A and B are shown apart, each in its own frame.
Chain A
Amino acid sequence: MHVGFIFLAVIVGSILFHIFTPWYWTDIASNWGSMDDTITLTFWIGGGVFVAVCLFMVYCVFKFSYKEGRKAEYKPEDKKLEKILTIATTLGVAALLAPGLIVWNQFINVPKNAIHVDVMAWQWGWQYRLPGDDGKLGSTKVANINDNNPFGIILEDPNGKDDVLIQSDVLHLKNNRPVKILLRSVDVLHNWYVPQFRAKMDAVPGVVTYYWFEPNKVGEYEVLCAEYCGVGHYGMRGRVFVKSEPDYENWLQEQETFSDLVAKQEEIEFSKTKLAKK
């Protein structure tokens, strides 16, 4: 008898835990509410099945426990029942899959007006690059990376000249404007993840990967690395500030562009050669 009660307690406990848990989603700060909705839907359908199956099991435990002399039913199969269960399960699964695929379609199709952000990862840190007035990022190559060209921008590419370089792990984003995160890594796999934005994607050396979201809550957020990348993995953090448009523009003005950087370096070179001549 007590077996049935303990299992019942486990099921009821699980439900209560789910209802009263203090641990749940961080408040969402992006457009991906639809992801939360698909999770909620899965919770209802999946949780329903879990509870139903377990309750049925507990019922059997109460009802059909061993009794000397009773004989179990002999029933190798029941085609009709099996057919019904197959169809019902298929429908349930389809009901979960369809919305999932629709949202995935949104997730992989980036809106046209999204600001492109180059997120560059290494062991263990982040830096960012934003397009200049032309709205385009210059192309890059790992082999070009050096002290004078920390992002490895290809010098011949005119798009790269006005790119805004942020050599720190703090990124600022404009509120209510989609961003397309373009990820790359110079060494191993990483993953630029902000729990409040929900979305994530690996940065893979050798290719550029992407995802997009639209931040919709002004504030400060923490970036986590979500793909194991060596001993420093757990400490590979960064920060994101979502700002209103004017604040964002002010911040952007203060940042250095690639041509600024090149000019600065040429100045240094120039003074060095002057010194040498003297």
Chain B
Amino acid sequence: MAEDFNDNKTIQAQSSETISGGGAGVTPDKDYVRPAEVADQDLYHGHSFITKWVFCQDAKVIGVQYFLLATFTGIIGLILSWLMRLQLGFPGAAGFMTAEHYYQFVTMHGMIMVVYFLTALFLGGFGNYLIPLMVGARDMVFPYVNMVSFWMFFVAVGVLLASFFVPGGPTGSGWTLYPPQAILEGTPGSGMGIILMCVSLILFVAGFTMGGLNYLITVLQARTRGMTLMRMPLTVWGIFTATVLAMLAFPALLVSAIMMSLDRILGTSFFMPTILKAGEMLEYGGGSPILFQHLFWFFGHPEVYIVALPAFGIISDLISVHSRKNIFGYRMMVWAIVVIGALSFFVWAHHMYVSGMHPWFGFFFATTTLIIAVPTALKVYNWILTLWRGNIRMNTVMLWCLGFIVTFVNGGITGIFLGNVVVDVPLSDTYFVVAHFHMVMGIAPLMVIMGAVYHWFPLVAGRMLSEKLGKWHFWFTFLGAYSIYFPMHYLGFIGVPRRYFEMYDSPYITSAVGMNEFISTAAFIVGAAQFILIYNIVVSLKMGKPAGKNPWQANSLEWHTPTVPPEHGNWGDKLPVVHRWAYDYSVPGAKEDFIPQTTPPSEVADTEVEKT
């Protein structure tokens, strides 16, 4: 199949000659780089406002577009969560809130947060901005397709939001969209709402596939000279692996969305068994609701890692830069990302322990799920071991990193509860689950996003964000979010089921009223605190301290473009050449505590690296 391009043997031969200082045709120079073999990319340069900022083919602009649109939907998701918490903490306080509305809000909130906010932000936003810069490319390999990808996402969001305004409103079937309930009366939005949801998802998947194609091929085929796979920053590894997962998992979502739309529109019965409703037999029969669940979670579980892996990658880089220390166990980190990615396709049914699937699956999926905990735990160890004997800058970025570690470990541990099949039996479908997944895939990735924003804003805007506001923003968000979700686990122990419009009025549960009021109040504060960030960004764009070049003294390529912020084409007239991995911080013998990836060995001749 794939022939090796850089035939390993010749290179090795060449380089050993280089070391021994002989050999015809090879310069005996430490800084030797092979001449460029890949033709430089021709880029389309927009001239009008429209081609420069709207239908733009520059991955950096597309990244920012993805970021802004995803944030916008995220704010809608946030407002919906406020409304839900208002109902749960203070029932009846929002007069218009009926059960129908509540379920519609739960559904839209869940779907928006997972797909249209986190996935779009990590892959579309950070992926587009950072991949070409970090691997030393001028742009994504198919810039036009990349642009179409964003506009498909735009339309998908439009269709999603349009469902708020159709008769019957948006679907209220829960973000899992389980049939038969999703397409039958008795669930809000079972008419137009669910159809629009399916259409929107299909558009999202189609658009995303176009983007993903770009991320994969750019990482594999368009790196600059000297940038081997193992020299890439972990951010790129995370986004790359997540994209592979997305490409393999999204087809499952596509298939289930198509089949469900057909069940709803044409009356096929992919997921519909014989059904008796209000005393009447419906014209369905022969399908299986559990099949939908398998398809959905075959997408849904990898989806968790589609969000988590980029977060893992980014946080590794942030911790390393701000501890002035290489990431501990780089190879282990890469392996863990790859292994987690591969395993994530074999654990999906841990969401279905009590779904009525064959009980023997329980043994298999509990085992695979707990196995995946091992590489995940190793990553956590390596993060904290990177802090160990580092020189930790206690700035806002680092605060978010620390917050991430606490919330992620907390959510990871409760994941072990839920993965261990029999422990899941009493806890599944209760608030324990809600607390768990918010901690691990809501708050933890949010911490990463925030850290990443404070870290890369100077690159994008050329100005620093205010540290003071940043710290207030962090403490409100971290302490607030922790006090929302930590106590919530205990509601689950009591046995309060999730997706309940009204908390439960049984005698032994009324004691939870106080807790619910507390949680809701915290939720309002956390939500409001996010506006500190928006204020910070708006003000800093104009009045922030100028960042200058490489304000964090980082090594990776994105900080070493000829102009800051980088321009279209990224690298001026000459592509960079990479001489080292991205983590040469505090190298013994070096003058500075960092050595950028572009620095050739001759410039740092005194460094001494012990063998491991």
Contacts and interface: CB of A to CB of B under 8 A. Distances in A.
Q: Please determine whether chains A and B interact with each other in the same assembly.
A: yes
Interface of A: 3, 6-7, 10-11, 14, 17, 21-26, 32, 34-35, 38-39, 42, 46-47, 49-50, 53-54, 56-57, 60-61, 64-67, 70-79, 81-82, 85-86, 89-90, 93, 96-97, 100-101, 103-105, 107-108, 122-123, 142-143, 145, 183, 186-189, 191, 193, 195-196, 198-207, 209, 222, 224-234
B490 A75 contact: no
Given A42-B423, A65-B392, A100-B420, A228 B332 contact: no
Of B287, B289, B515, most A-chain CB atoms within 10 Å: B289
8 contacts: A25-B494, A97-B420, A186-B277, A187-B180, A187-B184, A187-B277, A203-B356, A228-B174
Contacts of A188: 178, 180-181, 184, 186
A126 to B, nearest CB: 15
- 10 A-B pairs closest in CB distance: A195-B495, A206-B273, A209-B356, A188-B181, A230-B186, A60-B387, A108-B359, A46-B413, A73-B389, A100-B420
What's the interface size class on B, roughly? 35 or more
Given A14-B410, A104-B422, A186-B277, 17 more contacts: A38-B423, A42-B420, A47-B413, A54-B409, A64-B391, A71-B324, A82-B329, A89-B378, A100-B422, A108-B360, A145-B276, A198-B425, A198-B426, A200-B428, A203-B356, A228-B173, A231-B501
B417 interface: yes
Query: In this complex, which of A34, A100, A187 has the most chain B Cβ atoms within 10 angstroms of its Cβ?
Result: A100
A224 to B, nearest CB: 6
Contact of A231 (B187, B329, B378, B420): B187
Contacts of B423: 35, 38-39, 42, 100
Contacts of A234: 99, 499-502, 504
Given A101-B366, A108-B362, A53 B289 contact: no
A42 B490 contact: no
A77 B330 contact: yes
Interface string B468-486: 0000000100010010001
B355 A74 contact: no
B586 interface: yes
A43 B413 CA distance: 9
A211 to B, nearest CB: 8
A200 B174 CA distance: 20
A65 B428 CA distance: 41
B325 A72 contact: yes
Contacts of A199: 425-426
Interface stretch (B57-65, B244-252, B367-375): B367-375
Contact of A64 (B178, B390, B490): B390
Interface in B441-489: 475, 479, 482, 486-487
Nearest to B586: A72
A74 B326 contact: yes
Interface of B: 99-100, 103, 172-174, 178, 180-181, 184, 186-188, 273-277, 281, 287-290, 323-326, 328-332, 354-356, 359-360, 362-363, 366-367, 370-371, 373-374, 377-378, 380-381, 384-385, 387-394, 399, 402, 405-406, 409-410, 413-414, 416-417, 420-423, 425-430, 475, 479, 482, 486-487, 490-491, 493-495, 497, 499-502, 504, 506, 508, 511-512, 515, 583, 585-588, 593, 609, 612
